[in-house]
Amino acid sequence: MLADKYFDVSQEVVLITGASGQLGGEYVRSFLERGACVAGLDLYLSSKNKKFEEEYPDNYLYCNSDVTSKVSLQQTLNKITDAFGVPTVLVNNAAIDSPPSSPPEENGPFEEYPEASWDKVIDVNLKGVYLCCQVFGAAMAEAGKGSIINVASTYGAVAPDQNLYEYRRQQGEVFFKPVAYSASKSGIFNLSRYLAVYWAKKNVRVNSLTIAGVFNNQDDGFLDAYCKRIPIGRMAKADEYSGSVLFLASPASTYMTGSNLVIDGGWTAI
């Protein structure tokens, strides 16, 4: 059988931020199963990731770190380099959003959206990606090899569809999908393009990955509205983006940089 020259990631050192979250854990698993060394960065160690430490003691390293702290990221780089070598793949996946259960002012009218919430979301979702690129991307550029995957969102590519939340307003709530997440994710596109051009000759590729909503036991009103709006008629399963992350990390995409890969069930097609 032909060795898989396109999707072999077994020699890669992969750093995934937000590794303890719903999608981060899926990305960690898919790289570990394919023989890569994986560093999972997060503010806390999830029970799922504890299992990775047990199952893959030689290939998995948990790094307790905060993407908004450059000092903490530099310590993480040293830790990963000591264990596995300089990262060759960086998946900037950590982010925060205002969940529908947030306090009313978070999901209220734009005119009253709190400045502190704006700062917090932009800090993690945009500044955090910039800092990770600065620390880990710089090490990749120096080593002459790397692929950076910056996770964006349909809500950064187009405005959130406020009609999805009409069912809540009909129940008497004041509810709007807030602005900061959307603004932070749209910033990911040009941060990625900027760095793709900046590091092109250093053999560090930088792409964004735009994804749509993932099923996570959302309430029926939301699910109904979302599934009616999205052409494919359902939310994504948690493992449905792992293939695209593998693609962007692997030799299959060596000529791709400064691009945006859209895996969104057709959300942005209409």
Ligand X SMILES: NC(=O)c1ccc[n+]([C@@H]2O[C@H](COP(=O)([O-])OP(=O)(O)OC[C@H]3O[C@@H](n4cnc5c(N)ncnc54)[C@H](O)[C@@H]3O)[C@@H](O)[C@H]2O)c1
Where does this chain bind ligand X (CB under 6 A)?
17-18, 20-24, 42-44, 66-68, 93-96, 124, 128, 151, 153, 211, 213-214
- Nearest distance from C-beta of residue 81 to ligand X, angstroms: 19
Beta carbon nearer to ligand X, 139 or 211: 211
- Nearest distance from C-beta of residue 127 to ligand X, angstroms: 10
Beta carbon nearer to ligand X, 142 or 219: 219
Cross-strand partners of 17: 41
Q: Are 248 and 147 in contact (CB under 8 A)?
A: yes
Beta carbon nearer to ligand X, 51 or 254: 51
Q: Are 188 and 152 in contact (CB under 8 A)?
A: yes
Residue nearest to ligand X (CB): 21
Beta carbon nearer to ligand X, 24 or 87: 24
- Nearest distance from C-beta of residue 185 to ligand X, angstroms: 6
What SS3 state is found at 7? coil
Residues 6+ apart with CB under 8 A from 172: none
Q: Are 270 and 212 in contact (CB under 8 A)?
A: no
Beta carbon nearer to ligand X, 18 or 178: 18
Q: Are 153 and 162 in contact (CB under 8 A)?
A: no
- Nearest distance from C-beta of residue 85 to ligand X, angstroms: 22
The residue among 8, 15, 5, 2 whose CA lies nearest residue 33 is 8
Cross-strand partners of 151: 209
- Nearest distance from C-beta of residue 124 to ligand X, angstroms: 5
